[in-house]
Amino acid sequence: MSSASIKILGSGLCGSLLSIILAKRGYAVEIYESRSDPRKLSQAAGRSINLAMSSRGINALKYAGIFDQIKPLLIPMTGRMLHFKNGDKELQPYGQKEDEVIYSVSRFNLNQILIETAEKKYHVDINFEHSVKSYDPENAKIQMHSPKKEFFLEAQKILVADGAGSVIRKSFNDRAPIMPSESILPHSYKELTIPANDDGSFQLEKNALHVWPRGQFMLIALPNPAGDFTLTLFMPTMGKDSFAELSTDAAVTDFFDRHFASAVPLLPNLIHEFKNNPTGILGTVRCRHWHQDDKLLLIGDAAHALVPFHAQGMNFAFDDCVELDKVIGQHEHNWLEIFQNFEANQFDNATAIQEMALDNYIEMRDGVLDPKFALRKELSFELEKRLPNQFIPRYSMVMFHEKIPYAVSYQRGEIQKKLLAELTMDAEKLEEIDLNYAEKVVATKLAPL
Ligand SMILES: Cc1cc2nc3c(=O)[nH]c(=O)nc-3n(C[C@H](O)[C@H](O)[C@H](O)COP(=O)(O)OP(=O)(O)OC[C@H]3O[C@@H](n4cnc5c(N)ncnc54)[C@H](O)[C@@H]3O)c2cc1C
């Protein structure tokens, strides 16, 4: 146990969970958060925004001893429900075992519970409406702003969890040791709502993540406990079929009628929401390093924000919290070693999941429309049945196997992708593939896990 103190910047998903884990270790934890206390607000801006949680996130919540409180919020999603342009629908299961599902969870409620637990149960001192204004890496002083005062924090053992737009990270632009870069995706997003039926029931199948794949763009919908769905449109920012083109009510109506006819009857507030809800940008944050000596460590999105198409940003940020706690246990009090080891353990994983998340956008909006996609998926499930320790579909490794690092999932996934393409090249159906031969090839290319 330690009686030392530690400061965290940001009480978002990463900062709030981290505070619980470190308080349990015995640290006196203090958080500075720019927003006001979410427990005093109703559902964020009247909208429910949700996230998909999978095994890495759940594992971290269990590690922190808080999963039982979060569990009632979770809605299982067993697969992708594809909505084709001709109105046909098809459910593609995510996995083939009963527990291979992902879960929709309200970001707002999740954050509220983490904050409440941190403060009430673990006595974390959370200073809301306290923003990082700037950071000068030379003299290691963080300038803070609150409604009552401006002050400086000494950068010493500071855990920086202020999200994708991190002020601290940006203060290192072009500067060692962090040397960050941001790649903005030329696609943006807008969140809309499919309301519940009058009796509170769901207008679409509740236990699925719905996708309307349309090549260059797509809609996705995740269920909320109140019977509504959060629907997100992802599409190019500029050019043909882009947000830039949807600048009038008529253009929005025409676009949805042409491309998403099956979704239109579910969207009574389409025009109002389209005009009033913000259009968000998406991007990938890469850094050369995540720490400055033993002064500060970037963690979660501040270190490695990624595009949301593998639904792993929060899951990875939660995994960071577990990993950091483990290295603290191994190198207690030596903060330079702690930060170095954390970076060494997670860095390749960040690069891997960032790539896989970008890949998955193409798969979700376009790849699933390839007639061979379903066959490759069927074959990968068959190979997993036959060689469960050697062939696990990449999606399953990322979403259901928290013990397989992202970097390993990525490397094995690349080999598997090639194998699946070769084995399905001349086949239309699974019966046309020589599965005994396929097994032998897999056995030569992939070592047991
Ligand atoms: C559209 C979309 C969908 C997503 N879907 C998923 C999903 O399905 N599954 C998944 O795992 N991930 C998803 N993500 C990613 C996920 O939201 C992030 O990875 C996760 O929130 C990262 O947690 P964090 O605590 O690092 O950052 P955040 O949750 O952004 O928290 C940062 C905190 O820092 C505070 N802060 C910011 N600036 C300052 C400052 N100057 N001073 C003090 N405090 C500050 C903020 O107010 C906030 O509370 C999605 C992201 C987007 C954009």
Q: How far is CA 419 from each of CA 425, 437, 446, rounded to the nearest angstrom?
A: 10, 12, 10
CB of residue 300 inside a 6 A radius of ligand 1: yes
> Which pLDDT belongs to residue 376?
97
> Would you kindly state where each structural domain of the chain is located, as residue ranges?
5-72+107-182+283-360, 185-281, 370-445
Which residue lies with its CA nearest to atom 49 of ligand 1? 12
Residues 6+ apart with CB under 8 A from 181: 285, 286, 287
The answer to whether the beta carbons of residues 171 and 162 sit under 8 Å apart is no
19: three-class secondary structure by DSSP: helix
pLDDT, one tens digit for every residue, the chain (449 residues): 456 899 999 999 999 999 999 999 999 999 999 999 999 987 555 466 999 999 999 999 999 999 999 999 999 999 999 999 999 999 999 999 999 999 999 999 999 999 999 999 999 999 999 999 999 999 999 999 999 999 999 989 999 999 999 999 999 999 999 999 999 999 999 999 999 999 999 999 999 999 999 999 999 999 999 999 999 999 999 999 999 999 999 999 999 999 999 999 999 999 999 999 999 999 999 999 999 999 999 999 999 999 999 999 999 999 999 999 999 999 988 999 999 999 999 999 999 999 999 999 999 999 999 989 999 999 999 999 999 999 999 999 999 999 999 999 999 999 999 999 999 999 999 999 999 999 999 999 999 99
> Which pLDDT belongs to residue 381?
98
Which residue lies with its CA nearest to atom 19 of ligand 1? 313
Q: What does the radius of gyration of the chain's CA atoms come to, in whole angstroms? A: 23
Which residue lies with its CA nearest to atom 37 of ligand 1? 162
CB of residue 114 inside a 6 A radius of ligand 1: no
Nearest-atom index, ligand 1, CA of 305:
19
Q: Report the predicted TM-score, pTM, of the whole model to 2 decimal places.
A: 0.97
Q: How far is CA 125 from each of CA 116, 121, 300, rounded to the nearest angstrom?
A: 11, 11, 20
Cα 106 to ligand 1 centre (Å): 13
CB of residue 10 inside a 6 A radius of ligand 1: yes
Cα 300 to ligand 1 centre (Å): 8
Residues 6+ apart with CB under 8 A from 441: 419, 422, 423
> Which pLDDT belongs to residue 315?
98
Paired tokens of 81: 């429900």
Cα 257 to ligand 1 centre (Å): 33
> Which pLDDT belongs to residue 22?
98
Cα 163 to ligand 1 centre (Å): 5
> Which pLDDT belongs to residue 4?
87
Q: Please choose from 61, 229, 234, 301 the residue to mutate so as to test ligand 1's pocket, defined by most ligand atoms within 8 A of CB.
A: 301
Instruction: Give the burial string for 87-110 (b: 16+ CB within 10 Å, else e).
Output: eeeeebebbeeeebbbbbbbbbbb
Paired tokens of 53: 């949680």
For tokens 């593939």, name the residue: 433
Handedness of CA 359, 363, 366, 367 (dihedral sign): positive
Task: Choose the CATH number for 5-72+107-182+283-360 among 3.50.50.60, 3.40.50.261, 3.20.20.70, 3.40.50.10490.
Answer: 3.50.50.60
